[in-house]
Amino acid sequence: MAKFDVYDLEKKKVGELELADAIFAGEVNENLFYEVVKAKLASDRSGTHAVKNRSLVSGGGKKPWKQKHTGRARQGSTRASQWVGGGKAMGPKPRDYSYDVPKKVRKAALRSALSLRGQDGKLVIVQEWKPAAPKTSAAAKVLAKLGAAKALVVDAAANGSLARSVRNLDGSDFLAVEGLNVYDILKHDTLVLTADTAKKLEEVLS
């Protein structure tokens, strides 16, 4: 078991927390990051790109001139792709870019990302952080004292005051523990967890 210091919001040590080595201090397999992050970014693509082909462009129902004896190339419609205002030939169509990564791979990648932050000294665990009301300036002061610039703060989804306090900070963000993912961990310089969140992650990823 690895031991991590637990701080209050003034970054005064208030205790220690024992967490599983395999999750917070294990071997970092960076090869897993690529596939998981690529799948996440692919799933975020809307895939709504589309253009009109000749069947979707209005007009062009009449043959512009007769087939023969005009000296011009034969044409069937003014909405063919070679005409100005015509349809686009072989243009993009709506599609779904998302694909699944095996659950074992996702879990292994998340364990590696947590271990990476732990080994880099960029994992900060606080006893609890439950602001009475949302206040961005107060959240900024806490993160400054914790030395957590561009931080990803993770806690229970029910902690709405904390979520609204952090989400407006430039470079920092809040995630519910259920939504924690490799991409957001790597995107932020520091990972801030509450003690309860750290134990929940240990339970889920074991």
Assign residue 139 the CATH number of its domain.
3.40.1370.10
From 91, 119, 148, give the residue that closes a domain: 91
173's CB contacts (< 8 A; 6+ apart) are: 152, 153, 166, 167, 184, 188
Over residues 48-104, the pLDDT tens digits come to: 999 999 999 999 899 999 999 999 999 999 999 999 999 999 999 999 999 999 999
Q: pLDDT band for position 1 (50/70/90)?
A: confident
From 35, 67, 91, give the residue that closes a domain: 91
From 91, 121, 154, give the residue that closes a domain: 91
| 142 and 174 belong to one structural domain | yes
**What is the rounded average pLDDT of the residues 174-190?**
96
**What is the rounded average pLDDT of the residues 104-129?**
95
**What is the rounded average pLDDT of the residues 123-132?**
95
Helices 31-44, 103-119: axis angle to 10 degrees equals: 120
Burial code (b: 16+ CB inside 10 Å, e: under 16) for 21-53 equals: ebbbbbebeeebbebbbebbeeeeeeeeeeeeb
Percent of the chain with pLDDT over 70: 100
Number of domains the chain is built from: 2
Q: What pLDDT is attached to residue 206?
A: 86
Q: Where are the beta strands (DSSP E) in 8-65?
A: 13-19
- Which tokens sit at 52? 């009109």
Find where tokens 């957001």 sit. Answer: 184
The chain-wide mean pLDDT, for the chain, equals: 94
Structural domain range at position 66: 51-91
